[in-house]
Structure 1
Amino acid sequence: VREIGQKLNVDAVLEGSVRSAGSQLRVSAQLVSTANGYHLWSRTYQREMRDVFAIQEEIARAIVNTIRGRLAHEQSAPLVQSHTNDLEAYQLYLRGRFFWNQRDNSQRREETLRSAISYFQAALQRDPNYALAYSGLADAYASVPPGISRDVAYARAKTAALRALELDETLAEAHTALARILVVQEWDWQRAGREYQRAIELNPGYATAHQWYGMYLISLGRLDEALMELNTAQQLDPLSLAVNNDLGRALYYARRYDEAIEQYRKIIQLYPSSADAHLNLALTYAEKSVLESAIRELRTWANLSGDEPQALLGYTYAVAGRRDEALRILGELEERAKTARVSPVGMAVIHARLGNHDRAFALLEQAVQQRSPFVLFLKVHPRLDPLRSDPRFTQLLRQVGLE
């Protein structure tokens, strides 16, 4: 317990077990001090399955009373909101969130997101007015499951988020989901900011709101504020792969490369199969011109994700000054682009590093027209540093609404 406390930076942990037999539910819970292993509080509940929401409320209130001695003026307000009276709908929603929380596992991304969508939809079949399930559905579609176009996924996500808000305007998850769509699809920065702030006002303990608001602030170039939000998200959900990856990205965008490397190493220690962590570590090594480590991580990423590493290898060679290898890969990419879809971003950043600015801007213009997620970070991305002094770069920022 002491080791867990150190890793999570917490003073106490809640542990327990849940057993069900027919309609009977047995819940055992203990609040344990990480300093000495002492049980601060423990209790066992034997109830009917239909009482699961009441048990959650009792446990939450008992823990708050134990930690704070007594509740403040909000003591009479419920600490746990069920959002539905249908137990099966609630269980289906929890399963959907379980799969959605695994979305950063590249090897199973399609499976996990499709499972999440299926469970959220099943929850809504049970309770068509279940706002929380609509917000979950919005999050799952906003993650763009493989096999669904971005436009279709984002449209479905927005529809679900708006329906959730129609049912419950006080739902932080729904405001967060809507804000995400306003950023990635509509580039409506002002409205998105208001939605994120409203979400955090409604539920300051919702880690995803702080996480995505942090990424929003990165896009605006407000890196110090972004790091504060992402650190808050990590404190709220210390083991979240998505939150920890985004915290590493924030350090990378802030050019705090050594700290980013340390962050990604920690992630890989916990989640060795996280393709995104290996990719982000590779990109960070590339900016530091640590060529062998960058290439090793890129190959690990490619093996885990099944994606093609050529464009990123070309960029890595260009940063390291190995011009001939970079040009060879660039030629291969441009030849392939004649007959197949190749991301213009991958080629643009190689051209930028090699000094071919006209071609780099032409390709970045394509990325803007395609509404590539990469352009959300034009203002801060290290791979674009060679282009920033060119007036055409300011024009790109204006097109995305970032200037």
Structure 2
Amino acid sequence: MSERRYYNFDCFRIDPVERVLLRDDKPVSLSPKVFDTLLALVEHSGHIVSKDELVEIVWPDTFVEENNLTQYVAAARRALGDNRQEQRYIETIPKRGYRFAPSVRLITEDSDSVLIEERDSLRIVVKDKIEEQVSSGLALSTFARAVINHRIFAIASLTAFLAAVAGGYLVFEKRTRAALTGRVTTNAQAQTDYQEGQRLWNRRLGGDQLQAAALFEKAINEDPKFALAYVGLADCYAFDWPNWKLAEEKANKALEIDPQLGEAHATIGFVRTFWQWDFAEAERQFRLAFELSPNYATAHQWYAAYFIALGRVADAKHEMQRALELDPASLPINADLCQALYYSTEYDAALAQCQKTLALDPNFINTHIYLQKIYTMKGMGKEALQEILTTEKLRISDPDYIYPAALALTEGLTQSGTKGLWQAQADYSARTGSTDVGLAESYALAGDHEKAYHWLERAFQDHEFAFAYTIADPLFVDLRVDERFNRLAHYKSAQAIASERAGRNQ
């Protein structure tokens, strides 16, 4: 006799077997790991689940930083129509973890009868102390069985850098053969989901990227021949540490449907640049992208990123300007031109471009990330501090959020200028966790070259996504006289030469 379980609360139902969240019997789009996060909290409703416990349940044997967990919880709240301020469903328990607040009904069915059991999860509140009693005996086993064969979809601690290089979304040519090849879809719902995925992806926030991936998957389910939806999903995976290898797989699936899809080649070029450091193949893929889809702005944007990885900053600026000509309304491309100008050490021009981008959207996170370093290089410490604080508020979508290191950063800036600011940031990041590249940058800006080199070496050994950007970054200029830094830069020299030769032979 097989048994099915459902979890009901308010107008929602969770079906762990089908892995679906329903609201008034209509499915709500969730990425796999957002669903797992919500399910873990619901199965422990009324109980406090520590952050460590939640990570262990949802990402067993995988390192996930606290900030990434926060993004998934925020995405789960949004799916329920909740937010950090109201916390009607998911409560944050300071210094402890999270608790699912509403009463949850566990409904059990078997194959031979309709409803055989319905039990409530209860929480008894006594004064200011919560004594938790669950009469339903909710067990973890159902959850464990549901996720054991499910692929990991965790965003690593690269949010700033992922945002930094993320491209403007798909700008594709209208061709008469489009509907036949899968470049467009005749399924109205698939098209709607795809367009919403585009919109969320362009926002460049961690939780929105998860939602975008879920929508692209939904569009594919609705129209399995929708090639551009595969490209959209591939682009999501291209910035996802555990799943980047799936990016090329999904891009190749798009090419099976439409071999003339230049967008897919651009994605593969990006993956080969930043995850595999295979610059010769990346160059080949970008050239195919331009041949098939010459007006695809994202290909030019990512080609600019490729040039930055090779240290060819003049070429990078030229390509980014070309991308902006093709898609002048793109927020990511407008912001990334700031980055290209920064790498060219044109700080005033970079600042002006960032201000233009903020005029389009004052809350676009990429722009604030770039401004941190631009203001620092211009010696404008107060402005750099403000950009750090603004970035953190945008990262967790809470305008009232107070960055825990805010006071230390302010004191560091007051006592020792921009070096003190970044020393405080480095100390906080070292305690709480950060990317290797993030720590290397902070220590370099603080003037601690030994620690900066140490973390660059770690980034190289860990094959960190953002390491490819470090060689050309002007904030590491003082390290370039160090032979150790030059040895790290040598990692790509053979590939770069091979790439340039391949380009000349085309």
- Would you say the 8 A contact 2:338–2:353 is kept in 1? yes
* Corresponding residue to 1:366 among 458, 469, 482: 458
Q: Counterpart of 2:270?
A: 180
* Corresponding residue to 2:230 among 134, 137, 149: 134
* Alpha-carbon separation, structure 2, partners of 1:274 and 1:238: 16
- Would you say the 8 A contact 1:96–1:119 is kept in 2? yes
Superposition map of 1:93-108 within 5 A: 93=191, 95-105=193-203, 108=205
Q: Counterpart of 1:263?
A: 353
- Would you say the 8 A contact 2:189–2:222 is kept in 1? no
The secondary structure found in structure 2 opposite 1:373 is coil
- Would you say the 8 A contact 2:234–2:250 is kept in 1? yes
Matched, 1:81 2:178: yes
Q: Counterpart of 1:293?
A: 383
- 1:215-269: per-residue Cα shift (whole Å, max 9, x none)? 1112112222222211111111111111111111000111000011011111111
Instruction: Decide whether aligned partners of structure 1 residues 121 and 156 sit closer, same or farther in structure 2, where only a CA change above 3 A counts.
Output: same
* Corresponding residue to 1:343 among 400, 411, 435: 435
The one-letter amino acid of 2:483's match is: P
Deviation at 1:370, TM superposition (A): 2.3
* Alpha-carbon separation, structure 1, partners of 2:339 and 2:434: 24
Q: Counterpart of 1:114?
A: 210
The answer for unaligned runs of 5 or more in structure 1 is 1-76, 145-149
TM-score (norm 1): 0.69
Superposition map of 1:208-287 within 5 A: 208-287=298-377
- Would you say the 8 A contact 1:89–1:122 is kept in 2? no
- Would you say the 8 A contact 1:97–1:136 is kept in 2? no
* Alpha-carbon separation, structure 2, partners of 1:216 and 1:186: 12
TM-score (norm 2): 0.56
* Alpha-carbon separation, structure 2, partners of 1:294 and 1:204: 38
Instruction: Decide whether aligned partners of structure 1 residues 160 and 356 sit closer, same or farther in structure 2, where only a CA change above 3 A counts.
Output: same
Instruction: Decide whether aligned partners of structure 1 residues 273 and 310 sit closer, same or farther in structure 2, where only a CA change above 3 A counts.
Output: same
Aligned length: 314
Deviation at 1:380, TM superposition (A): 1.2
Q: Counterpart of 1:393?
A: 485
Deviation at 1:329, TM superposition (A): 4.9
Instruction: Decide whether aligned partners of structure 1 residues 353 and 109 sit closer, same or farther in structure 2, where only a CA change above 3 A counts.
Output: closer
Which one scores higher on RCO, CA 8 angstroms, separation ≥ 6?
A: 2
Instruction: Decide whether aligned partners of structure 1 residues 173 and 362 sit closer, same or farther in structure 2, where only a CA change above 3 A counts.
Output: same
Q: Counterpart of 1:357?
A: 449
* Alpha-carbon separation, structure 1, partners of 2:368 and 2:420: 26
- Would you say the 8 A contact 2:331–2:357 is kept in 1? yes
* Alpha-carbon separation, structure 2, partners of 1:165 and 1:377: 29
The secondary structure found in structure 2 opposite 1:103 is helix
- Would you say the 8 A contact 1:187–1:400 is kept in 2? yes
Superposition map of 1:375-386 within 5 A: 375-386=467-478
Q: Counterpart of 1:171?
A: 261
The one-letter amino acid of 1:224's match is: A
Instruction: Decide whether aligned partners of structure 1 residues 290 and 223 sit closer, same or farther in structure 2, where only a CA change above 3 A counts.
Output: same
The one-letter amino acid of 1:301's match is: T
The one-letter amino acid of 2:269's match is: A
- Identity rate of aligned residues, in percent? 32
* Corresponding residue to 1:151 among 234, 242, 249: 242
The secondary structure found in structure 1 opposite 2:201 is coil
The one-letter amino acid of 1:151's match is: P
* Alpha-carbon separation, structure 1, partners of 2:229 and 2:202: 20
The one-letter amino acid of 1:192's match is: A
Report which of the two has the higher share of helix. 1
The one-letter amino acid of 2:178's match is: Q
Instruction: Decide whether aligned partners of structure 1 residues 324 and 276 sit closer, same or farther in structure 2, where only a CA change above 3 A counts.
Output: closer
The one-letter amino acid of 2:237's match is: Y
Higher deviation after alignment, 162-171 or 325-334? 325-334
Q: Counterpart of 1:124?
A: 220
The one-letter amino acid of 1:190's match is: A
The answer for unaligned runs of 5 or more in structure 2 is 1-173, 497-506
Instruction: Decide whether aligned partners of structure 1 residues 346 and 119 sit closer, same or farther in structure 2, where only a CA change above 3 A counts.
Output: closer
RMSD: 3.1
